[in-house]
Amino acid sequence: MTRDETVGVLDYDAGNLTSVENALRHLGARWVLSPDPQALAGSDRLIFPGDGHAATSMENLRARGLDTLLRDFAARGRPILGICVGSQIVLESSEEGPTECLGLVPGICRRLPGGPDLKVPHMGWNAVHFEVDHPLVRGVPQDASFYFVHSYYTEPRAPAQVLGTTDHGIRFAVGFLKDTLATWQFHPEKSGEAGLRLVKNFLDWRP
Amino acid sequence: MLQKRVVVCLDVKEGRTTKGVKFQNNVDLGDPVEMAEFYYRQGVDELVFYDITASAEKRGIMIDVVRRVAERIFIPFCVGGGISSAEDIRSVILAGAEKVSLNSQAVKNPDLIRQAARMYGSQSVVLGMDALADPAMPSGYRVVINGGRTPTDLDALAWARRACDLGAGEIVLNSIDADGTKAGYELTVTRLLSEALPIPVVASGGAGTPEHLRAVLQEGRADAALVASMVHYGTYSLPQIKDYLAQHGVPVRR
């Protein structure tokens, strides 16, 4: 990212954004955090974070017109990074609600099955196996650990490309890529130095 | 595979880290922000800060500590101690903590758990519970509050289940019998709660050696183990503890 670029961070009452701002500050980025699509429209790239419920998040996005902003950025080929719920609701639908989602990427979001010794939410550190060599994952050790907190997992379909997977009873995609939209299910902003590197890679990404 | 977490606990009094034995005789250990950064560099998985400041007018100091910690370390951390209102919860989360821990205040006002879960989601709400062995209770353990000084009528397992139903996403289970002894965690109560509850259990109280952590994470079935003096006094480093756990088959982040 060049010095005069700006990252827009979507604020739609979906969890705590302080940690995203702290990571951006640490990396020397310039950012705008706002619930207002007009304030974000001039950004060079978007971070779409979120904790919480998929159906509620969709309602909040629509109420602010942020769904349109995301479609517009995707259509114009500007980079978008979805984190956690932001990685789930770019798909077509979610079992959480259930709700229709943004449909920017083919696929659906399903409930983690859980089981004996498999608590849901999947909360804590888990190893991520990167499935591709890509500028977004450069400099991060294979099978490095990242911090997860979620009860639903993403199941993207082609032409989306799976960036990484992890295992919690089942093996599932924890990051995917379609055109200029990339996602991480875990919280890179809360995953130590490996996570910060992923955020930096996104800021430097020129698709 | 989800890894077992090693959590470092810092007791903070008026902006300084202290450590006591059975909640007494606190000694000064240093600046909590610098200590947090030191443990972050050593690979700690999570931190817990307990505000043991006695006077209400000095509580604001803790928010400043939380804000400075959040700017310098990029892993989850939890803040507990004296959180008694929705406003307290909001100020801690907005300062950059992932989680709040509710203990005595949740016993006095269980609705606080529900409020916190509705505001920030269950993943942000930790029930802090001090348990004391008591054969008179159905589970064999009684909940005590106010730093272990005041017994309640609550059974430890029943209270944990209720907190779960109210929206708590995790439990830090502190054994008053083991706390500060460095003789090992209380495995029985830890296993009881870990097996009975659908949410993660963080074992607390009694850690003295890496073997104690191994025992509570394997035999005690805990999801995470909390340590304090064994690392604060430099007896063990985080890498030493994690190496030991990994060598004994416990999945940990390295």
Question: Residue B176: is its pLDDT beyond 80?
Answer: yes
pLDDT at residue B119, as a whole number: 85
- Give whichever of A50-64, A130-144, B82-96 has the largest mean pLDDT: A130-144
Tell me what percent of the residues of chain B surpass a pLDDT of 90.
Answer: 80
Helix or strand (DSSP H, E) at A99: strand A99-100
Cβ-based contacts of B121 with chain A (< 8 Å): 15, 51-52
Chain A residues near any Cβ of chain B (below 8 Å): 15-16, 18-19, 22-23, 25-26, 51-52, 119-127, 145, 147-149, 167-168, 187, 189-193, 195-196
Question: What CA–CA distances, in Å, run from B104 to B15, B83, B154, B205?
Answer: 21, 9, 12, 17
CATH of domain A7-204: 3.40.50.880
Condensed to tens digits (0 to 9), the pLDDT of residues B132-147 reads 999 999 999 999 998 8
Which candidate from B70, B169, B253 shows the least CB-CB separation from A18?
Answer: B70
Q: For A6-20, B89-103, B127-141, B238-252, which range has the lowest pLDDT when averaged over its residues?
A: A6-20
Catalytic residue list contains A101: no
Whether the predicted interface score ipTM is above 0.95: no
Q: CA–CA separation, B225 vs B240, rounded Å?
A: 15
**Beta-bridge mates of residue B51:** B12
Q: CA–CA separation, B167 vs B173, rounded Å?
A: 16
Q: B47, B75 in Cβ contact below 8 A?
A: yes
Q: Do B1 and A127 touch (CB under 8 A)?
A: yes
Where do the structural domains in chain A lie, given as residue ranges? 7-204
Cβ-based contacts of A167 with chain B (< 8 Å): 1
- Domains in chain B and their CATH numbers? 5-247 (3.20.20.70)
Q: Band the pLDDT of B173: cuts 50, 70, 90.
A: very high
Question: What CA–CA distances, in Å, run from B102 to B64, B86, B137?
Answer: 20, 11, 22
Tokens of B254: 């390295």
Q: Which residue, A78, A88, A87, is CA-closest to A41?
A: A78
Q: CA–CA separation, A138 vs A204, rounded Å?
A: 11
pLDDT at residue B20, as a whole number: 57
Q: Do B223 and A23 touch (CB under 8 A)?
A: no
Cβ-based contacts of B5 with chain A (< 8 Å): 124-125
Q: Which pairing describes strands A45-48 and A80-83: parallel, antiparallel, or unpaired?
A: parallel
Other Cβ atoms closer than 10 A to A113: 11
Q: Band the pLDDT of A2: cuts 50, 70, 90.
A: low
Q: Band the pLDDT of B75: cuts 50, 70, 90.
A: very high
Condensed to tens digits (0 to 9), the pLDDT of residues A91-150 reads 999 999 999 999 999 999 999 998 877 888 899 999 999 999 999 999 999 999 999 999
Q: Do A16 and B124 touch (CB under 8 A)?
A: yes
Q: How many CA atoms lie within 13 A of A204 on its CB side?
A: 14
Helix or strand (DSSP H, E) at B98: none
Nearest chain B residue to A126, by CA: B2
**What is the arithmetic mean of pLDDT over B15-32?**
71
Q: CA–CA separation, A6 vs A30, rounded Å?
A: 5
pLDDT at residue B25, as a whole number: 55
Catalytic residue list contains B51: no
Q: For B32-46, B55-69, B162-176, which range has the lowest pLDDT when averaged over its residues?
A: B55-69
Q: Band the pLDDT of A3: cuts 50, 70, 90.
A: low
